[in-house]
Each structure stands twice: as C-alpha cells, then as structure tokens.
Amino acid sequence: MATDQWTARLARADEEERNLLERFRAVRAVSLARAAPLSAEDQQAQSMPDASPTKWHLAHVTWFFETFLLTPFLPGYRVFDPAFGYLFNSYYEAVGPRHPRPARGLVTRPGLERVLAYRAHVDAAMERLLTSDAPAEVAELVVLGLAHEEQHQELILMDVLHLLAQSPVNPAYGPGFEPGVAPAPLEWIELHGGCVTIGTSGNGFAFDNEGPRHDVLLRPYRLASRLVTNREWLAFMEDGGYARADLWLSDGWARVREEGWDAPLYWRSGEAGWRAIGLTGLQPLDLDAPVLHVSYYEADAHATWAGKRLPTEAEWEHGAVTRPEAFAQLSDAAWQWTASAYLGYPGFKPARGAVGEYNGKFMMGQMTLRGGASITPAGHARPTYRNFFYPHQRWMFSGVRLAEDAPAGGEASEEGQAEAFRHDVLEGLARRPKSVPPKWFYDAKGSELFEAITELPEYYPTRAETALLSRIAPELAARIPPDAILIEYGSGASAKTRLILDAAPQLGAYAPIDISVSALEAAAASIRRDYPSLLVEPLARDFTRSGEAPAAAAGRRRVGFFPGSTIGNFDPAEAVRLLAEARRLMGEDGLFILGADLVKEVRVMTSAYDDVAGVTAAFNKNLLARIDRELGGDVDLDTFDHRAVWNADDSRIEMHLVSRARQTVRVAGHAFDFAAGESLHTENSYKFTVEDITGMAKRAGWTLLERWIGPPPAFAVFLFG
C-alpha cells in the first residue's frame, strides 16, 4: 500500500489509535502475557515446519519494529545484535537472507533471557521514537507493526497447542480461550444479495489485502446463524464422512488417504468416547461447541454431506456487515472457511518496498477464512478481514459456517415460493418444539378460509377495525398528500383498503403486498374495476423481506397501511425489524397506518380463535392439507386437533395442531415422529397495549402522529411519520 494511503488512513484513525504509545505498550504486553504460562523449554521447541517456537515469535515481532522503524527513523539507533536480522526475519526477501523456517526450533542461542532483553531494548527505543517528532509515515508503520504483533499473538497459541498436543501426558496451556457454545438453534438467515459492495471503506486500519472496495454480484442466499457444532460433525463422521470419496474434492480425498484423517486434528477417541485436545488439555468433547481444527477439504466435504455449501467471502462479509445481529459466533469462536480463493481484489497492488511483501505474495493456492477466533486478540479482527491458509492446514482455529442458495427470484416466483415452503416445513418439523410460520396458511384455500373467519360472530377484530377505520377515515385522508401511493402489507381481499381509497381520492397509486397470489390477483382486479383512475401495482412477495419499492412509488410520497393486527403474527423482534424495513421503504417523508388488536378479556380473545362452527380449526388444519398437496405429505388431518390457547406471559393467542396419538408422518420423503399430545405450533397472535405498539414503532424509527382506539372489543389504529 502506498505510503500516502497509509497516512490518509491514519489521519482518520479512531482515538485509541491516535494514542500510539499507549497502544504500543498494551499490545507488546499481551505477547508477554501469552508467553507467561510457558516454561523456557515450552518456548524453545518447534513441533512442525508450519509452527514456530514462542521464543522466535517474541523475537520476530521485535525485529519488525527494529528493522522497519528504529533503523530507518530513530537517529543514532544501535542495532541490538546484527545476527538477529538473519535469525528473526520471517519472509522478507527485500531485507536479506534468513534462517530456514523448519529449523527455528534448533536455535537455542540466543536463549529466552536474551530475547527478552532484545524486546526491552527495542521497547525503550520505540518509546523514544514515539515521543519524538517523527514523520507521519512512522505512525502508519507502527500501526502495521502492532497488527503484525497481534497476528503473532494468535500464532503463539496455535503453535503452542500444536506443540502440547504432541505430548503423551496431555499438558494444558491454561483457561481463558474457550470458544463457547452457540446460544440458539441454527437458523438460516436470508440475504437478498444483488450488487453489493465489499472491502475496507478506509476508515480505520485495514491490511492492504482488504481493499480496494469493490462491487460484487450476489445471488440470493442464506447463511447459517451459527457455526457447525461438534455434534453435527460427529453425525457426519458416523455417516461415513471420512470414508466416502463422493463427498470430497479430489485433492482432499488424497489427503484423507495419505494422512489417515478420520476426525478433526485434535480429536482423540477412547473408551469414554471422543475427547478433544485444546488449550485446557484433553477434555470430553463439548457437543454444542463449534467444531475446530478442520481443513478446507474437511469443511467442504461436511458441507457437501449436509446438502449445503461454504459461503464465498463476499457472501460472508455482506451478511456480517448488513445483519450482524442475526449471527452468532461471527468473530469470537473460530475462523470460518470460505469457498473463495485468496486472491487480490480487483485493482489490488501490493505496497512498494519490504512491507509490500506482507500479503500480496501469498495470493496463490490458499483459501480465505473470515471472522475471528477465540484466540484472536480483542479488537484485531473486523468484518473485512481476510485470513488465509492452505486448504490442507488444520492447526489454526478454523471452523465452518454453512451457506445455501435461496431460490432465484426469491419467494416472488412460483418456484421460489414452493422451495421456501418446502424448506420452512422440513425445518419446522425437525425443530423442538415443532413450528411452521403462519404465512404458509395462505394458499388459495387458506385465504378463502380467512375471509370466512372475518365473518364469524366470535372473530371481532375485523368488525372492530372496520368500524374504527370508517370513523377516522376523513382524519387519515387529511394527512395523505396528493398523488401519494398507498402500500399495503398483507392486503388479502383489500376490503379495508376501500375505506381509505374512498376517503382519499387524491391517492395516485395503490401497491398491495401479499404472499397469497390468488387473493392478491382477485383483490387487484376488483380494485382496478372500482377505482379506474388509480394505478394498481400488486406485489406477490413476503413483506418481511427487504424488497424493492414498487415502480409506481417513484416520485410519489409513500403511505404504508398495515391493518388486521397482522403485526401480531410476528415476534416482537421480527415486528420491529419489519417496521424498520417499512421505515426504509416509506422514506423520510413517509407515513404509516398500523392496526393492532388490544389485550382484553381472555374469553373474548380465545373464542375468536376457537369458533363454534369450526372455521378456524379448518383454517389451521389447511396447513396440513397444503403440506399433503404440495409436498407429497401423508398427514391425516383427522389425527390432529386444533387448539387455541392464551399465553399470558407472552401476551399472545397461540394456535397449535396437536397430534392425537403417537405417529410418524412423511413429508417430501422425510419422516417426522410425533408423540401423543405433541404440538405443531402454527401461529401467534400477539395482543398489545398502546405502549407496546408505540415502543416497537419508536425502536424502528417511527414517530407517533396520532392514535385512535375503538369501543370494546378494543382495537387501535396508529398513524406514524
């Protein structure tokens, strides 16, 4: 990276980085702290050519400061020992010849004491340099030197673990670096992709290989919310994972055969089952912890076995940057193999001079890993960070995050919907407790049944909201700007919409969004017929997914309309995400009309979901009928009961389908066991207080403009801007 670029970056560096001397002291201290639990003998030995003795690491990072900072920039600096240039240069050809890497463990002199004296000598000189009037170039090289030292702090622990793992007495390094377990079940996080931008934005330090920032085209994809666990790895092994050539890349299979791989690097089998060597010694395998110390070949074979794939590094980065809250173990457990070869980004040019050897010359034959590990020094990694190793290497803290393709065109296409339905049902039936998202109720039959529900004597929400909307429509209409577009979420039959359209003839366009194609098409046709001057643009898609604005929204003020208390069919966190996404779509000057059912007497609420005529039961069971129709299921509807219960803790009505007896159902070629009385959870309908709604909307970036509450059974309509 050119010097002026480094300088520019540094100028933008954050406060901590500005106080270089303090950072210098802190980072240097971490290296000694990591070496502290080790004896001089531990710090001398080298267990393989790829690993280096701790003593060598401590000296090499010091040599970096001496060579690139003190010698050129500190007037009168006296080199500690001229022989060290040869002993502790790692790979810098421009700086001269060096001791062969596989023989580092044979250098018993200087001893550890003298290496520590070398560090003290260089530290003292660096203090002088950093308190002098040094050129700006010095600061940028110090930042690089510290990032370099942090990389070696990670290497110290990788190399020590490899060394200790050679010992028959299973010594431990010590606690404090365990990767922890994933908190939640695996979820597939949907990402739309498209033309996305990756790479460092130039704010704060980054290695040269993290730029230039550039565009990448990504097809829709899904990323696993957490890393592959030891339990999942064991299932792969038990299914012959290391014995089936069909799962492996050719080079990987050759390695398996040559080196006799049958488990991750540090797993050991014994009478008590599998155990794993880590920094705390030989321990029983924690099945919920992420698998560690697997090669690229193994990661790829596991992904193939699981019917998934590894993410590309652009997919990984885009997910980590845009949805960080959706992922666990992004940077604190294990580095994550990507399917991307470690190459320069478009336009990449290594820096001139010796530091240009830092990254660029390794861009051949290696694969990129993303994230960060439990042994990565705090603050060292970032979402654009590109780590890299050869595909056979295993001694680093490497793990696996899986990816898969999402259907082309997303759920908007018929094929996409079918695939998404299959995916959600198979995954939902495999969960404990079993659950399927309620959006799958709404095929043509389900939408018809919902309309029948709205007429039931027990189902008060539709009548209550319709009455309230009729009353307040003039007030709402007064807020709607001329030629605005009304964008409706979950429009169904678009019945309530008419109340707004009648009161606000100034509306220029209407975009109903609904996942139910049949309901959407019928509603759009009837609105077109009855409002001939209105531009109608129906959108058949899942409104929880961030999507493009309707074409008709261009140049128009936007008014969102989300009636029916359908907001209550989402968990609070999902609801906030949805409202925030709506905020983005409506724009700064947008409005949002939201209908929400309020908490009331329990009996009134439960009977609305358990009507005497059994229409709600038929609506609920239609999910099973749809599974049978579309996924070749063999579920007998009569073996399940409809159940609607009030969950006071979560303030929601829950709908379940409860299996009358123990049974096995088959869906899309997969078998799922139900115990007698076991439930498939099909829907939540949260019931709110006014504060619940205003709180969620506020978190999503909306401001309350007005709200109206109808007479009992109470329903509320909110206007946000």
Q: Would you mind telling me the total number of residues written for the chain in this entry? A: 721
Which option in ligand AVI, ligand SAH, none does residue 63 bind, with CB closer than 5 to 8 A by kind? none
| Residues touching ligand SAH, count (CB under 6 A) | 21
Which option in ligand AVI, ligand SAH, none does residue 609 bind, with CB closer than 5 to 8 A by kind? ligand AVI
What backbone torsions phi and psi does residue 485 show, to the nearest 5 degrees?
Answer: -110, 135
- Give the residue, chosen from 388, 395, 442, 720, that forms a contact with ligand SAH under the rule CB under 6 A: 442
- Give the residue, chosen from 150, 300, 315, 514, that forms a contact with ligand SAH under the rule CB under 6 A: 514
- Give the residue, chosen from 609, 640, 674, 715, that forms a contact with ligand AVI under the rule CB under 6 A: 609
Measured CA to CA, the distance from residue 397 to residue 232 in angstroms comes to 17
Instruction: Check residue 190 for interaction with ligand SAH (CB under 6 A).
Output: no
Distance of closest approach, residue 697 Cβ to ligand AVI, in angstroms: 17
How does DSSP classify residue 246? G
Nearer to ligand SAH by Cβ, of 320 and 515: the residue is: 515
Nearer to ligand AVI by Cβ, of 34 and 656: the residue is: 656
Binding residues for ligand SAH restricted to 558-587, rule: CB under 6 A: 563-564, 566
Measured CA to CA, the distance from residue 69 to residue 691 in angstroms comes to 60
Which option in ligand AVI, ligand SAH, none does residue 685 bind, with CB closer than 5 to 8 A by kind? ligand AVI
Distance of closest approach, residue 410 Cβ to ligand SAH, in angstroms: 12
* Of 168-176, 353-361, 478-486, 539-547: span binding ligand SAH (CB under 6 A): 539-547
Give how far Cα 452 sits from Cα of 338, 445, 616, Å: 50, 11, 9
User: Among residues 696, 437, 436, 505, which one has the least CA distance to residue 582?
Assistant: 696
Distance of closest approach, residue 465 Cβ to ligand SAH, in angstroms: 7
Which option in ligand AVI, ligand SAH, none does residue 515 bind, with CB closer than 5 to 8 A by kind? ligand SAH
Measured CA to CA, the distance from residue 470 to residue 500 in angstroms comes to 8
Residues 6+ apart with CB under 8 A from 653: 605, 606, 608, 609, 644, 645, 646, 647, 684, 685, 687
> Three-state secondary structure along 656-688?
EEEECCCEEEEECCEEEEECCCCEEEEEEEECE
Distance of closest approach, residue 411 Cβ to ligand SAH, in angstroms: 8
- Give the residue, chosen from 66, 154, 298, 542, that forms a contact with ligand SAH under the rule CB under 6 A: 542
Instruction: Check residue 565 for interaction with ligand AVI (CB under 6 A).
Output: yes
Which residue matches tokens 């670029």?
5
Residue type, 269: S
| Residues touching ligand AVI, count (CB under 6 A) | 12
Instruction: Check residue 684 for interaction with ligand SAH (CB under 6 A).
Output: no
Q: How far is CA 580 from the centre of its chain?
A: 18
* Of 424-432, 507-515, 548-556, 701-709: span binding ligand SAH (CB under 6 A): 507-515
Distance of closest approach, residue 541 Cβ to ligand AVI, in angstroms: 17
Distance of closest approach, residue 487 Cβ to ligand SAH, in angstroms: 12
Answer whether 617's CB lies under 8 Å from 625's CB: no
User: Among residues 137, 708, 185, 141, which one has the least CA distance to residue 467?
Assistant: 708
Write b or e for each residue in 264-279: b if 16 or more Cβ atoms lie within 10 A of its Cβ, otherwise e.
bbbbeeeeeebbbbbb
Instruction: Check residue 225 for interaction with ligand SAH (CB under 6 A).
Output: no
- 15 token code pair: 């406060």
Distance of closest approach, residue 537 Cβ to ligand SAH, in angstroms: 15
Residue 65, H or E segment: helix 54-65
Nearer to ligand AVI by Cβ, of 300 and 465: the residue is: 465
Q: How many CB atoms lie within 10 A of CB 573?
A: 11
Instruction: Check residue 492 for interaction with ligand SAH (CB under 6 A).
Output: yes
Binding residues for ligand SAH restricted to 450-469, rule: CB under 6 A: 450, 454, 462
* Of 99-107, 241-249, 261-269, 488-496: span binding ligand SAH (CB under 6 A): 488-496
- 93 token code pair: 């050809």
Strand partners, 278: 281
Which option in ligand AVI, ligand SAH, none does residue 462 bind, with CB closer than 5 to 8 A by kind? ligand SAH
Nearer to ligand SAH by Cβ, of 322 and 454: the residue is: 454
Contact characters 373-412, ligand AVI, x per CB under 6 A: ----------------------------------------
User: Among residues 720, 402, 716, 430, which one has the least CA distance to residue 563?
Assistant: 716
- Give the residue, chosen from 279, 314, 396, 453, that forms a contact with ligand AVI under the rule CB under 6 A: 453
- Give the residue, chosen from 92, 253, 395, 543, that forms a contact with ligand SAH under the rule CB under 6 A: 543
Measured CA to CA, the distance from residue 695 to residue 675 in angstroms comes to 40
* CB-count exposure of residue 123 (10 Å: 0-12, 13-18, 19+): middle
- For the chain, what percentages of helix, strand and coil (3-state, to nearest 5) are there? 40, 20, 40
- 575 token code pair: 């609801």
The half-sphere exposure of 452 on its side-chain side, counting CA atoms within 13 A, is: 16
Answer whether 371's CB lies under 8 Å from 330's CB: yes
* CB-count exposure of residue 320 (10 Å: 0-12, 13-18, 19+): buried
Q: Select the residue whose beta carbon is closest to ligand AVI and give its number.
A: 685
- Give the residue, chosen from 52, 685, 688, 718, that forms a contact with ligand AVI under the rule CB under 6 A: 685
* Of 64-72, 368-376, 541-549, 668-676: span binding ligand SAH (CB under 6 A): 541-549
- 474 token code pair: 């003039």
Contact characters 616-655, ligand AVI, x per CB under 6 A: x--x------------------------------------
Q: How far is CA 363 from the centre of its chain?
A: 27
Instruction: Check residue 622 for interaction with ligand SAH (CB under 6 A).
Output: no
Distinct helix (H) and strand (E) counts, the chain: 21, 26
Query: Helix 136-164 and helix 20-35: axis angle, to 10°?
Result: 10
- Give the residue, chosen from 105, 490, 568, 633, that forms a contact with ligand SAH under the rule CB under 6 A: 490
Binding residues for ligand AVI restricted to 459-498, rule: CB under 6 A: 461
Instruction: Check residue 544 for interaction with ligand SAH (CB under 6 A).
Output: yes
Collapsed DSSP state (helix, strand, coil) of residue 631: helix
Collapsed DSSP state (helix, strand, coil) of residue 81: coil
Nearer to ligand AVI by Cβ, of 117 and 456: the residue is: 456
User: Among residues 231, 237, 229, which one has the least CA distance to residue 181?
Assistant: 229
Nearer to ligand AVI by Cβ, of 565 and 607: the residue is: 565
Answer whether 174's CB lies under 8 Å from 283's CB: no
Give how far Cα 266 sits from Cα of 113, 158, 176, 329, 372, Å: 32, 12, 18, 21, 19
Instruction: Check residue 620 for interaction with ligand SAH (CB under 6 A).
Output: no
Distance of closest approach, residue 520 Cβ to ligand SAH, in angstroms: 8
Instruction: Check residue 295 for interaction with ligand SAH (CB under 6 A).
Output: no
Measured CA to CA, the distance from residue 279 to residue 618 in angstroms comes to 57
- Give the residue, chosen from 569, 607, 679, 694, that forms a contact with ligand AVI under the rule CB under 6 A: 569
Pairing between β-strand 652-659 and β-strand 640-647 as defined by DSSP bridges: antiparallel
Nearer to ligand AVI by Cβ, of 466 and 616: the residue is: 616
* Of 94-102, 365-373, 560-568, 658-666: span binding ligand AVI (CB under 6 A): 560-568
- Give the residue, chosen from 279, 515, 591, 697, that forms a contact with ligand SAH under the rule CB under 6 A: 515
* Of 81-89, 118-126, 426-434, 561-569: span binding ligand AVI (CB under 6 A): 561-569
Instruction: Check residue 683 for interaction with ligand AVI (CB under 6 A).
Output: yes
Binding footprint of ligand SAH on the chain (CB under 6 A)? 439, 442, 447, 450, 454, 462, 490-492, 496, 513-516, 519, 542-544, 563-564, 566
Chain residues binding ligand AVI by CB under 6 A are 453, 461, 564-566, 568-569, 609, 616, 619, 683, 685
